[in-house]
Amino acid sequence: MTVRRSRALLSLMNTYFHFRAVPPPALRNSATWFQRLFDDDWDSVRERIGRHREEVLDQRYLDHELLYSGIPPNHAPDGPPCQVVLGGRPVFHPDAAQPPFLLLTAAHTARVAAYLTAADFDDLWQGTRERLLQPYAEPDAEPEVRAAFAATHRDLTAFYKQTALYGDAVVKWLML
């Protein structure tokens, strides 16, 4: 394996998509402020996840995006359900090599929470099952893969419901 490929794999393994709930009065429209928001160490982040004030998706976050991408019958009439993962207004990072932060207002967060609360995981799974199982060569992998997606769906639903209940916004960032 080449050094470049090894670094790329290591980078992918350490990549995660981080969601943080923020009260609207505390929000600043500043990439520097958003950067400080995500400067916590991993142990602090992990401690807060259980309180549904933060959520983290691993490097397979695009697979979760696919689950909510609006494939019939899952299209929400009030907007694209894909805001669950990748949605939000971009706030560009001061370092152009870094991905932008994404901001969902409190109103957008409430719409995502309503969508997730009403969404039926079985319908979501059936609409994307074949594509989500493609990376797994073993036919008996489905129960484990499905369970992992169902658990993440429950976690995201709990995060957005709690965040909407508090009337908070959500700031997201793909941390490399």
d(CA 84, CA 112): 6
User: Over the chain, what is the mean pLDDT?
Assistant: 80
Q: What is the pLDDT of residues 122-135, one digit of tens each?
A: 989 998 888 888 88
On whether the CB atoms of residues 164 and 113 are closer than 8 A, the answer is yes
- Facing residues of 91 across strands? 101
Where do the structural domains in the chain lie, given as residue ranges?
16-175
Rounded to two decimals, the pTM is 0.81
Q: What is the pLDDT of residues 63-121, one digit of tens each?
A: 888 888 855 555 555 555 568 888 899 999 988 899 999 999 999 999 999 989 988 99
Closest CA to 172 of 12, 21, 11, 59: 21
Q: What is the pLDDT of residues 38-64, one digit of tens each?
A: 886 666 655 655 455 888 888 788 888
On whether the CB atoms of residues 38 and 55 are closer than 8 A, the answer is no
* Helix or strand (DSSP H, E) at 44: helix 42-49
Residue 6 has pLDDT above 50, yes or no: no
pLDDT of residue 51: 54
In the CATH scheme, what is the code of domain 16-175?
3.40.1760.10
